[in-house]
């Protein structure tokens, strides 16, 4: 009944409480599983460690047995060498003593005949005779058995070990080795070597024995015969045994090792489990913390991606990413709208891209290969190109590229910012047209101011033409009345020449004004500096005669032709000359008014050469407050001026790549200078710019 009530209460509990109960049950199950896993892990780790220690110990005892067996075989070879030369008993004894000095494990060497009598023997110099108390005769049976076995094996044979009491109250476990000695193929005697078992362990295996290990010879029933090192005690002792099989005798080689202290094992296990549990809980807490951080980072990343997407959608600049092979890997909506294509079409399309004009594909491929080969040193100033929309219309673009670097600093492609400059080009054309209209207006204003001068200037050639024509008519009428003409008609010919000269003079004045006023396309041509001055001199001379100014022309004949828009530069020269002549109107009548037009080579460098034009007057100069805004548009000191002359002049010169400036002349006056590029240098410079752009 109580169980049913509890079940009903859980069923009627709110969903949040049920979820909380399930969560606690899952945590309890997780902790139980972890405890079981940790216990099993500790047990398995202990078993594995024990097996590893035991395995290493068995390998060590096997290797030790091999080392002892190898050392005994080398001793047999030394014994054979001792008997090889059939020495006398005294010589044999001397050689045997030397051999005993080298081998501490051998306590006695005996040379015995066929009856086992002892013609000669030698004992180790490191201890007193081991047979001092018991006597050698009492062990004769062991020697007999060993020699009988040696004769049967035709090789060395070992006796069983036996105990020899010593004078110090202790004892020594030894064994005998008997080696048959043959002379001319016949048995002639025996060599008997008595080994000390403790010395065999210390000399033949002791140097390789590790600290904490004990090595012993035992019998098959476990009776210990000899011991070297520290014997192991307790339940953490590891033991490995290996049979040392010698001809005639077999002993057990026992290797023991002590690991740890038994009393610490329970504490160590508890500490290990507690430490691993704490570490696991700490890891779980760190994982939970890391999970919260990851969720926060993912949330921030989603916000950043949304922000980036909003920025991409709001950009009017096209963005394009390409890989190292030049294929498009990313485009933003502005670029898609620019070329009138979807992002999927651009990303899946192979080379060449669909927005390249077909007639320029080969040129663009070569240009792309050159630019992509430059790599990370790609210039950042950008270059202009032409793209094609889906409908086939072309539009100019400005492309600025930079290397695309990933998080590890490796270049994976290029990122390009692309601007549609068609509207900018249209505005530039409108600005150019407006500037042309302003310049034409300025020219018309100049001609309007000079209209009275033109009428005065044209009156002179027209009056001369009228006078010469009247004289010619009078001569012709006299000839018609019967008066004879001069034989060579000198007067009539002179009159006709004068009429032609004056007509040509009037035509030049009219043509110079017409060429100056008319609007035409801007065409730059190579022209000599002298011709530019000659073109404006008729108009300059008109104003100079009216204002009483003497004009000087100084042209350095070494100047090369310049590359310029002839009409625009002529307007600059005329405006500067008129300003210079007007600046001298405030001088005293006794002062001479001189306007100098000078042309000479300007400073040059390895890439460009320039020609300097100068207009010099000896007026009163330019005040400082006027000089600060002299080139400002619509600023003028003349009541009837428009304020556009010098501003347009500077614009024209800067469009040619030159510089227009002024400075004071001592003792008085002002010099306006501007520079124009030499025709050959300008052509080379344009070629260099074109090469960089491609």
Is residue 370 domain-shared with residue 440, that is, in the same domain? no
CA distance 329 to 347: 6
**Structure tokens given for 367:** 């240009």
Half-sphere exposure of 583 (CA within 13 A, CB side): 24
Are 666 and 541 in a shared domain?
A: yes
The answer, as to whether pTM is greater than 0.95, is: no
Q: In this model, does residue 678 exceed pLDDT 60?
A: yes
**Stretch 569-589: mean pLDDT, rounded?**
83
Give yes or no: residues 249 and 273 share one domain.
no
Q: Are residues 190 and 135 in the same domain?
A: yes
* Predicted confidence (pLDDT) at residue 146 exceeds the cutoff of 70: yes
Per residue in 14-69, pLDDT (tens digit) is 555 565 566 567 666 766 777 777 677 667 666 767 787 788 888 888 988 898 99
pLDDT of residue 3: 47
More confident residue, 324 or 439: 324
Whether 414 and 376 have beta carbons less than 8 Å apart is answered as no
Domain boundary among 468, 501, 519: 519
For residue 491, the domain's CATH number is 1.10.287
Identify the weakest region by mean pLDDT among 121-125, 202-206, 409-413: 409-413
pLDDT at 320: 82
Q: What is the domain-level CATH number for residue 366?
A: 3.30.450.20
Residue 69 and residue 155 in one domain: yes
Same domain, 246 and 285: no
Indicate whether 402 and 354 sit together in one domain.
yes
| Both structure tokens of 36 | 């079981």
> What is the reported pLDDT for 7?
47
Q: What is the count of structural domains for the chain? A: 5
Give the pLDDT confidence score for residue 265 in this predicted structure. 45
Strand partners, 174: 162, 196
Cα distances (Å, whole numbers) of residue 465 to 106, 451, 667:
155, 21, 46
pLDDT in tens, 369-428: 776 665 545 555 667 778 888 888 888 888 877 777 877 878 777 777 887 777 777 887
Host domain of residue 623: 522-694
- pLDDT given for residue 633 in this prediction: 66
Examine the fold and report which residue of 470, 500, 519 is the final residue of a domain before the chain moves on: 519
> CA 602, CA 456: separation in Å to the nearest integer?
39
Q: How confident is the model at residue 674 (pLDDT cuts 50, 70, 90)?
A: very high
Average pLDDT over residues 518-534: 77
* One domain, residues 539 and 448: no
Residue 13, domain member (yes or no): no
With tokens 């504490």, the residue in question is 267
DSSP notation for 531-579: HHHHHHHHHHHHHHHHHT-EEEEEE-TTPPPEEEEHHHHHHHHHHHHHH
Residue 104 lies in a domain: yes
Indicate whether 490 pLDDT > 70: no
Contact 318, 420 (CB under 8 A): yes
Average pLDDT, the chain: 77
Q: How confident is the model at residue 10 (pLDDT cuts 50, 70, 90)?
A: very low
The answer as to whether 512 is a domain residue is yes
pLDDT at 192 over 90: yes
Instruction: Give 101's contacts (C-beta < 8 A, 6+ positions apart).
Output: 125
Q: Please identify which residue in the block is written with the tokens 């000078």.
A: 598
Cβ pair 581, 545 in contact under 8 A: no
**Do 383 and 299 fall within a single domain?**
no
Q: In terms of domains, do 513 and 579 share one? A: no
Q: Within a 10 A sphere around the Cβ of 498, how many other Cβ atoms?
A: 18
8 part of a folded domain: no
329 occurs within a structural domain: yes
| Same domain flag for 543 and 573 | yes
**CATH assignment at residue 616:** 3.30.565.10
Assess contact for 615 and 674: CB atoms under 8 A. no
Q: What are the structure tokens assigned to 643, written together?
A: 């304020």
What are the Cα distances from residue 576, in Å, to 531, 571, 582, 595?
Answer: 17, 9, 10, 10
If asked whether residues 397 and 440 sit together in one domain, one would say no
Query: Cβ(581)–Cβ(544) under 8 Å?
Result: yes
Task: Find the range with the poorest average confidence among 55-69, 334-348, 537-551, 569-583.
Answer: 334-348
User: Is residue 252 in a domain?
Assistant: yes
Structure confidence by residue, pLDDT tens digits, 607-643: 668 899 999 998 888 877 777 777 776 666 665 555 5
Q: Among 456, 443, 441, which Cα is nearest to 513's?
A: 443
In this predicted structure, the answer to whether residue 157 has a pLDDT above a threshold of 60 is yes
267: which 2 tokens? 């504490």
């Amino acid at each position: 009944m109580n169980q049913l009530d509890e079940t009903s209460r859980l069923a009627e509990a709110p969903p949040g409480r049920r979820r909380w109960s399930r969560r606690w049950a899952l945590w309890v199950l997780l902790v139980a599983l972890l405890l079981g896993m940790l216990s099993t892990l500790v047990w398995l780790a202990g078993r594995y460690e024990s097996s590893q220690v035991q395995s290493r110990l068995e390998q060590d005892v096997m290797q030790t047995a091999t080392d002892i067996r190898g050392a005994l075989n080398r001793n047999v070879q030394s014994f054979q060498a001792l008997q090889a030369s059939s020495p006398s008993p005294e010589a044999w004894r001397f050689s045997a003593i030397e051999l005993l000095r080298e081998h501490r494990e051998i306590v006695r060497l005996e040379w015995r005949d066929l009856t086992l009598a002892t013609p000669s023997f030698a004992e180790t110099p490191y201890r007193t005779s081991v047979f001092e108390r018991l006597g050698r005769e009492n062990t004769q049976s062991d020697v007999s058995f060993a020699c009988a076995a040696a004769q049967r094996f035709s090789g060395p044979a070992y006796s069983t070990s036996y105990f020899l009491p010593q004078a110090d109250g202790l004892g020594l476990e030894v064994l005998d080795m008997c080696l048959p000695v043959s002379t001319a193929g016949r048995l002639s005697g025996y060599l008997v070597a008595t080994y000390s078992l403790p010395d065999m362990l210390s000399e033949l295996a002791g140097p390789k024995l590790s600290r904490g290990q004990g090595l012993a010879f035992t019998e098959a029933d476990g009776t210990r015969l000899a011991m070297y090192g520290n014997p192991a005690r307790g339940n953490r002792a590891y033991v490995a045994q290996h049979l040392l099989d010698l001809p005639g005798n077999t002993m057990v080689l026992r290797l023991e090792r002590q690991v740890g202290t038994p009393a610490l094992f329970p504490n160590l296990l508890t500490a290990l489990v507690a430490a691993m549990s704490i570490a696991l809980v700490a890891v779980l807490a760190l994982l939970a913390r890391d999970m919260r951080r990851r969720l926060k980072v993912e949330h921030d990343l989603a916000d950043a991606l949304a922000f980036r997407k909003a920025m991409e959608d709001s950009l009017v600049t096209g963005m394009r990413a390409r890989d190292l092979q030049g294929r498009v890997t990313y485009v933003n909506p502005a670029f898609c709208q620019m070329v009138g294509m979807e992002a999927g079409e651009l990303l899946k399309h192979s080379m060449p891209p669909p927005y390249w004009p077909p007639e320029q594909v080969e040129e663009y491929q070569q240009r792309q290969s050159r630019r992509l080969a430059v790599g990370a040193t790609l210039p950042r100033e950008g270059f202009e190109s032409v793209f094609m929309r889906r409908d086939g219309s072309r539009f100019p673009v400005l492309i600025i590229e930079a290397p695309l670097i990933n998080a590890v600093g490796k270049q994976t492609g290029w990122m390009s910012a692309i601007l549609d400059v068609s509207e900018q080009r249209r505005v530039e054309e409108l600005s150019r047209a407006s500037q042309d209209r302003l310049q034409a207006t300025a020219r018309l204003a100049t001609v309007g101011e000079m209209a009275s001068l033109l009428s005065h200037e044209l009156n002179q050639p027209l009056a001369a033409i009228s006078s010469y024509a009247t004289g010619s008519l009078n001569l012709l009428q006299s000839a018609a009345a019967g008066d004879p003409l001069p034989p060579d008609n000198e007067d009539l010919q002179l009159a006709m020449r004068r009429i032609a000269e004056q007509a040509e003079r009037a035509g030049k004045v009219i043509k110079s004004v017409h060429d100056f006023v008319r609007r035409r396309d801007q065409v730059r041509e190579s022209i000599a500096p002298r011709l530019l001055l000659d073109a404006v001199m008729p108009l300059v001379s008109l104003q100079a005669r009216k204002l009483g100014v003497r004009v000087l022309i100084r042209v350095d004949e070494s100047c090369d032709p310049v590359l310029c828009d002839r009409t625009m530069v002529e307007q600059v020269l005329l405006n500067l000359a008129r300003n210079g002549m007007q600046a001298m109107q405030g001088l005293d009548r006794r002062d001479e008014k001189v306007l100098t037009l000078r042309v000479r080579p300007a400073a040059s460098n390895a890439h460009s050469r320039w020609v300097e034009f100068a207009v010099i007057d000896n007026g009163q100069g330019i005040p400082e407050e006027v000089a600060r805004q002299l080139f400002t548009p619509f600023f003028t000191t003349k009541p009837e001026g428009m304020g556009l002359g010098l501003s347009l002049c500077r614009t024209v010169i800067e469009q040619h790549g030159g510089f227009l400036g002024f400075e004071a002349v001592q003792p008085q006056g002002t010099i306006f200078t501007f520079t124009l590029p030499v025709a050959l240098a300008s052509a080379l410079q344009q070629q260099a710019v074109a090469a960089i752009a491609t």
